[in-house]
Structure 1
Amino acid sequence: MPDLDITQYTVTGALGRHLVLDPRSLAYRRRYYGEPLRPVEWAPKVPVLDQQDLLAQGIHTSHMFQGVEDADALGSCTANAATALISVLHTAEDLTAAGLDVTDPVAAETWAIGLYSDATHRDQWSEQAWPSDDCGSSGLGVAKALRARGLIDQYGHATTALELCRDLQNGPVLMGMPWRSAFFEPAGSSALLDDIPGWEDSPVAGGHEVCIVALEDVRCDAGGGLDLPRTVLRIRNSWSTSWADHGEFRMSLALYQALRQEIDLVQPRLDSHRR
C-alpha cells in the first residue's frame, strides 16, 4: 500500500468523511497559471439526497445487502456528494444505464449507498467496509470507485483557492472538510457558514464530504488577487431539502483558507466525452 497521509474522524449518520491524501496523485495536480476566473454554476440532475432518515424514505439496507440490519442513517456523505457530481457529467440517459434514476430521490439515495459500499472497499487503508461497518470513506476512495465503474476517466486534486476556482470553471468539485458543531445550523438560508457566531471555537464533530456546485461571486482585491472573504462558493449537501437553502449552503474562500489544512479537493473528470 502507498504511503498515505490519513486523518480519521468520528463517523455518525450525518458525517463520514476521512482525510486521505496520496502523494502520487497530488504530484499530478494542475497548478494555476493565470486562467480567467468567472462566476459559474453547475446543476446536478439528481435531487438533493438525504443520508439520514432512511427508513422514513422507505430505504431498507436489509433488502440491499444480505445479512445486514436496517440502518436509519449512514456516514455515506462521500458517495452522496459524488452522486450529485456525477449527475452533472453524464446525460440522464447514460445515468439511467448506469442504474442511477435522477427522477427519484429514493432510488438515487439507494444508488449512492451502493457507491458508498464500493468506496469503503476502495479505501484499502481501512480494515472496515460497508456492509456491515458504517466506517465512512474518503474523497479519494469514492473517486476510485467512480473510475472503477467507468463513470469517469480520471480525477485530479486542487490544493489552493486559485486551483479550486480554476477547476470549477470546468465542472463541480468534491470537498472534504472538518465539520464544526456550529455548522449544523447555518445562520440563514442565504448566509455564509462564515457568518455563524463563534464557529472558530466550535469543536469538530467529524469529517464531511460535499459537492461544490457554483462559484457564485468572484471578487479581486486592490492588488488584483482573489478577495477571499467576498468570493463565494455554493455547495450541495446531503441532508434533505429542509436543511439550509433547500439543501445547499454557502461559504467564502476565507473560510476555505482557514480550514485548508484539513480540507481536500477532488475533481472527478470525464475528459474524453462531451457533457
Structure 2
Amino acid sequence: MPTTHGVLVRHYDPHPALGRHQVLDARSLRFRHRATRDTLHPVSWQPTIPVLDQQNLQAQHIRTSQLVDGTPDVDALGSCTANAAAAALSIVLDAPRLAAAGLTPDARAAEEWAIRLYADATAADEFTAWQWPPNDAGSSGLGAARALHSRGLIGSYTHILDADALASALQSGPVLLGLPWYDAWFTPGTDAFVDTVPYWRTSGLAGGHEVCALALEEVAQDASGRVIPERTVLRARSSWGTAWGDGGDFRLRLSTYNALRDQIDAIQLHA
C-alpha cells in the first residue's frame, strides 16, 4: 500500500467479478463533500440503464474485440468501476446529455459503453501500473471519474470521507463506492444484506469491488444531527446482473462502512 507524494494506492488481486483498486490522491481529496447537520431522509435513486453484468459477456452477444482495439474476446472483465460509473451517470445526466453521450437504456449497448469507459479509466489511472488493453487488471473509482471528466461528461466530482458525509451526499444523488469485497459477500443474506452473513470478516478477502450507492433506505440521527451508523442502511448496485442479490442490488449498514473505512473510497459525480 505505497503512499507517494500524497497518493495512497492499495492494489487488490484481480478477479473475474472484481477489479477495483483504491487510489486516494491528496490533490483531489481537497474537493470533498462536507456533511451538514440537516435532517436526513430516506432517499432512493433509480438508474435509467438496466443492471449491468461484467460477466457472461458472450451470452450477452458482446465481443470486446469489436469495442476496444487490441483486445481479444473475453467472457468477463474487471470493469466494475466503469459499470458503477455508468449507473451513476445515468442518474446524474438528463436524457438529452445521456443520448449525446451514447449511454442508452439498451442493456447490451450500455454494457458495451461501460467497457469502453473501462479502457479509458485504466489509462486515466496514472498511479496503477496496468492498462487495458492488454492487461485486464482493474482500475479505480478515481480513474473512472477522471475518464468521465476528460470526456466532458461531468463538470466535477467530490470525495466523501466519512459516514456523515456519505449519508448527506446521498440526499442529492448516487455515490461511487469502492469496497474491499469478502468471499462471504458473494452470497448475501436475508434481504440482500451482505454484512449479516455470519463470519464474513473471517471468510477471506476476495478483492476490491466498485458499486453504485443508490439509496439511504433507513436513516437515524442523534440529537446533534450525526448519523447513527447501526441504524442507517445503504442500498447499492453491483454489476453482476439481476439474478444476484435483490435484483442486482445489496444492502449494508453504515456501521460496516465505518469498520472498513480505511479501505473504502467514495466519489460523487456532478453534471
Fold match (TM-score > 0.5): yes
Indicate the residue corresponding to 2:51 in structure 1.
48
Residue 103 of structure 2 corresponds to residue 100 of structure 1: yes
- Partner of 1:195, secondary structure, is coil
Q: Deviations over 1:71-90 (max 9, x none)?
A: 11000000000000000012
**Alignment map for 1:217-232 (pairs within 5 Å):** 217-221=218-222, 225-232=226-233
Q: Deviations over 1:113-151 (max 9, x none)?
A: 000000000001223211121020001100001111111
Q: CA deviation at 1:222?
A: 7.1
Q: Deviations over 1:138-196 (max 9, x none)?
A: 011000011111111100111111000111111100000000001000013x2421210
Moved more, 237-246 or 32-41: 32-41
Residue 20 of structure 2 corresponds to residue 17 of structure 1: yes
| Residues in 1 aligned to 2:18 and 2:188: alpha-carbon distance in whole angstroms | 16
- Partner of 2:103, secondary structure, is coil
| Residues in 2 aligned to 1:33 and 1:222: alpha-carbon distance in whole angstroms | 14
Amino acid at match of 2:218: D
Indicate the residue corresponding to 2:211 in structure 1.
210
Q: Is the 8 A contact 2:192 2:249 kept in 1?
A: no
Indicate the residue corresponding to 1:273 in structure 2.
none
Residue 118 of structure 2 corresponds to residue 116 of structure 1: yes
- Partner of 1:245, secondary structure, is coil
Residue 163 of structure 2 corresponds to residue 161 of structure 1: yes
Indicate the residue corresponding to 2:241 in structure 1.
240
Residue 78 of structure 2 corresponds to residue 78 of structure 1: no
Q: CA deviation at 1:27?
A: 2.2
**Alignment map for 1:126-141 (pairs within 5 Å):** 126-141=128-143
Q: What residue ranges of structure 1 are gaps of 5+ in the alignment?
A: 271-275
Under a length normalisation based on structure 1, what TM-score does the superposition of the two structures give? 0.93
| Residues in 2 aligned to 1:191 and 1:230: alpha-carbon distance in whole angstroms | 16
| Residues in 2 aligned to 1:266 and 1:234: alpha-carbon distance in whole angstroms | 16
Amino acid at match of 1:139: G
Under a length normalisation based on structure 2, what TM-score does the superposition of the two structures give? 0.95
Indicate the residue corresponding to 2:69 in structure 1.
66
| Structure-2 change in CA distance of 1:196 and 1:67 (3 Å) | same
Amino acid at match of 1:209: E
Residue 195 of structure 2 corresponds to residue 194 of structure 1: yes
Indicate the residue corresponding to 1:143 in structure 2.
145
Q: Is the 8 A contact 1:155 1:267 kept in 2?
A: yes
Q: Deviations over 1:29-55 (max 9, x none)?
A: 232231331111111001000000001
Indicate the residue corresponding to 1:34 in structure 2.
37
Moved more, 177-186 or 126-135: 126-135
Q: Is the 8 A contact 1:16 1:78 kept in 2?
A: yes
Q: CA deviation at 1:2?
A: 5.2
| Structure-2 change in CA distance of 1:225 and 1:128 (3 Å) | closer
Q: Deviations over 1:95-128 (max 9, x none)?
A: 12111112x1111000000000000000012232
| Residues in 2 aligned to 1:6 and 1:36: alpha-carbon distance in whole angstroms | 35
Q: CA deviation at 1:4?
A: 1.2
| Residues in 2 aligned to 1:200 and 1:12: alpha-carbon distance in whole angstroms | 19
| Residues in 1 aligned to 2:165 and 2:11: alpha-carbon distance in whole angstroms | 25
| Residues in 2 aligned to 1:193 and 1:20: alpha-carbon distance in whole angstroms | 24
| Residues in 1 aligned to 2:154 and 2:224: alpha-carbon distance in whole angstroms | 38
| Residues in 2 aligned to 1:224 and 1:2: alpha-carbon distance in whole angstroms | 36
Indicate the residue corresponding to 1:263 in structure 2.
264
| Residues in 1 aligned to 2:34 and 2:217: alpha-carbon distance in whole angstroms | 22
The alignment yields a C-alpha RMSD, in angstroms, of 1.5
| Residues in 1 aligned to 2:198 and 2:161: alpha-carbon distance in whole angstroms | 27
- Partner of 2:176, secondary structure, is strand
